[in-house]
Amino acid sequence: MDIAEILSSIKTKVDENSTEENIRLAFSCMDLTSLNSTDTVTNIKSFTEKVNSLPQKFPGVSPVAAICIYPNMVETVKKTLAERKVRIASVAGGFPSSMTFLDVKIQEIIMAVKNGADEIDIVMPLWAFLDHNKTVCRKEISDIKKSIGTVPLKVILETGALKTSENISAASMLAMDSGADFIKTSTGKVSPAATPEAAIVMCQSIKKYYLKTGRKVGFKAAGGISTTTDAILYLTILKDILGKEWMTPDLFRIGASHLGNKLLSSILKKEVVYF
């Protein structure tokens, strides 16, 4: 089947997968994100305090997987975060364009980890990939991964800029071969951001890579995911292609800023405006 046929088949399963259990799972797989040029220490601290207060405010709702912020805000989150199950994810390495020197990227990433980042999200150097210079891409991702060791590395492909399934598949395999622990759709700064079509190609690539190597790589959908239906669609894609083993925060993430309220509203069956 081609991608359109696969997507059509998957969409028929969204309703049956829209269970409370899966909505709660989607919430627990969220990288709750604030990546605004207007972010301040004050509002990031407040943002983090809301994550701390979730268990008291919404008993029985699992915490989100991570808080995702810019590198200069990592220390603020580290000092404020009391919910130990929540990880600190930092975009770094010249995010969102990746248009700077590799040494600068590595230094920024190392600083983010020293300040408390548990995970790092980088952008694959599109300027090299689109110029057919895969050697540069491999070296950048590999060198960055070596610089942070066991810290999970998410590599953003910026699928909207890659445009074709062939490019998305090639970028997925390149990132995984170079050491990516997750492959991620988008920064959210380029249109189109996440699309179901790109997610299908990426999950197919993860499956191919796993069958080849035995190493499980995670999938992160990010960019424009703002409704419960959106979240369940991506969860259904993951389940259909990769299976239930991938339905865990260790292997599935959704990067979003506004989705949390929609998922909480669906779980509690009333309108919630919390984040």
User: b/e string for 199-227 if b means 16 or more Cβ within 10 A?
Assistant: bbbbbbbbeebbeeeeeebbbbbbbbbee
**Does the residue 172 lie in any domain?**
yes
Report which of 118, 201, 120, 121 is spatially closest to residue 159, judged by C-alpha positions: 201
Handedness of CA 38, 41, 43, 47 (dihedral sign): positive
Instruction: Tell me: pLDDT of 1 over 90.
Output: no
Q: How far apart are the first and last CA of the chain?
A: 40
Q: What is the mean pLDDT of residues 17-30?
A: 98
Q: What percent of the chain has pLDDT over 70?
A: 100
191 part of a folded domain: yes
Residue 115 covered by a domain: yes
- Phi and psi at 118, nearest 5°, equal -90, -20
Q: Is the pLDDT of residue 87 over 90?
A: yes
121 belongs to the catalytic site: yes
Instruction: Answer yes or no: is 26 within a domain.
Output: yes
Q: Which of 105, 145, 154, 220 is catalytic?
A: 220
Q: Is residue 140 part of a domain?
A: yes
10/7 Cα distance (integer angstroms): 5
pLDDT tens digits for range 121-167: 999 999 999 999 999 999 999 999 999 999 999 999 999 999 999 99
Number of separate domains in the chain: 1
Q: Which of 31, 121, 181, 230 is catalytic?
A: 121
pLDDT-based confidence at residue 182 (cuts at 50, 70, 90): very high
Q: Say if 10 falls within a structural domain.
A: yes
Q: What is the pLDDT of residue 105?
A: 98
Does residue 274 form part of some domain?
Answer: no
The active-site residue out of 105, 145, 154, 184 is: 184
* Integer CA distances (angstroms), 131 to 69, 96, 127, 135, in order: 30, 18, 6, 11
* Integer Cα distance of 105 and 94 in angstroms: 6
Using CA atoms, how far apart are residues 227 and 184, in angstroms rounded to an integer? 19
Q: What is the pLDDT of residues 230-256, one digit of tens each?
A: 999 999 999 999 999 999 999 999 999
Q: Please say if 262 is a catalytic residue.
A: no
45 as an active site residue: the answer is no
Structural domain contains residue 275: no
pLDDT of residue 40: 98
* C-beta neighbour count of 189 within 10 angstroms: 15
Average pLDDT, the chain: 97
* Domain range for 39: 3-268
Q: Return the CATH number at 174.
A: 3.20.20.70
Under 8 Å CB-to-CB from 14, ≥6 apart: which residues? 229, 232, 233, 236
Q: What is the pLDDT of residue 271?
A: 97
Cβ atoms within 10 A of the Cβ of 149, count?
8
Residue 252, strand partner residues: 219
Stated as kind and residue range, the H or E segment containing 108 is helix 102-114
Quote the CA–CA distance of 46 and 205 in Å, as a whole number: 38
Mean pLDDT of 47-71: 97
